[in-house]
Structure 1
Amino acid sequence: MFARTRLALTGWAGDQDIAATAVKELMLNAAHHVGTGEVSLILTVYEDQGLLIQVMDEDPHFKGFDEATATTEPTGLHRIKALGGEITWCLLEQRGKAVQVRLHPAPQ
């Protein structure tokens, strides 16, 4: 419910179910792979109506990122890609990393 509320507040014109699924999968991945520590969520809507979902955690590593995003196994990142999400990750200046998903609204 929290993700859906935050998504609704962004005013994003895309599919809220797809975005909520992407948020859920990223948060579950962070909880599963990072363990303890703080996890943050930022949602940004751009002028082109692209939605950027960022999940940040304190672990600066993402072992097996290429394999995780290329697999056809039913993993969280695979589900996000199947829904049209573009997945990247980057190191944060302070500490940790951000795993990011970019979604685009369906053409009108």
Structure 2
Amino acid sequence: MNVQMVSAALAFPPAGARAAEAPDLVAEPETDREVDAGQEPTPVRPQSWERSWRIEACVPRLARLHTRTRLGVMAWSGNRNSAVRIITEVVRNAVDHVGKGIVQLTLSADEDDVLFIDVTDPRPGDENLDEVLAGGQGTGLWLVRQLGGEASWFPAKSGHGKTIRVRMQPPSETGSTTSRVEAP
């Protein structure tokens, strides 16, 4: 007997055996919370998520995939596509410019639904980084600003390396949540 046949037999017992062994289950409605049918549940705030990867070429793609899922779970009200693109660019910069080590991604949403994106890598920051963040070089951080992010940096909490922080505001009540990006 092959493995597929054994697993199917375990997953689907004979009809007579199933009926005799299975108790009658009755679903009862939830009574401990009240939710209006048309109302969205309020997301939990503050909320934070963290993930680390060894620096490899596939890390920007992994960060993008995990971020899409996590922003949905966090129920962040901002432009998720812009946030995912920003994270991909900042993580790609770390992979391209650091070489080896660990890159860490932290997403945090505060009580006002402001999203903080922290990307920490082992390469120390320097005055050149200030120029890059001010818009003097590169297209990755230029794109961050175009998509609505405010970038800054500080030494990593571990004492080794730096953290690039991008702050993204949620949409205003009257503002648009889409961003148009034109090439530099």
TM-score scaled by length of structure 2: 0.55
5+ residue gaps, structure 2, are 1-64, 174-184
The CA distance in 2 between the partners of 1:19 and 1:38, in whole Å, is 22
**Number of the residue aligned with 1:57:** 121
**Number of the residue aligned with 2:149:** 85
SS at match of 1:64: helix
Equivalent pair of 1:10/1:43 in contact (CA under 8 Å): no
Equivalent pair of 1:23/1:53 in contact (CA under 8 Å): yes
- Out of 57-66 and 23-32, give the one that drifted further: 57-66
**Fraction of identical pairs, as percent:** 37
The CA distance in 1 between the partners of 2:130 and 2:75, in whole Å, is 32
Equivalent pair of 1:59/1:97 in contact (CA under 8 Å): yes
- Out of 61-70 and 15-24, give the one that drifted further: 61-70
Of structures 1 and 2, the one with the larger relative CO (CA 8 A, separation 6+) is 1
- Out of 31-40 and 59-68, give the one that drifted further: 59-68
| Match status 1:34 vs 2:98 | yes
Equivalent pair of 2:116/2:166 in contact (CA under 8 Å): yes
Runs of 4+ in 1 over 4 A off after TM superposition: none
If you compute each CA radius of gyration, which structure gives the higher value, 1 or 2? 2
Aligned residues: 108
CA RMSD of aligned residues (A): 1.6
**Number of the residue aligned with 1:102:** 167
The CA distance in 1 between the partners of 2:79 and 2:137, in whole Å, is 24
TM-score scaled by length of structure 1: 0.90
CA apart distance, 1:61: 2.2
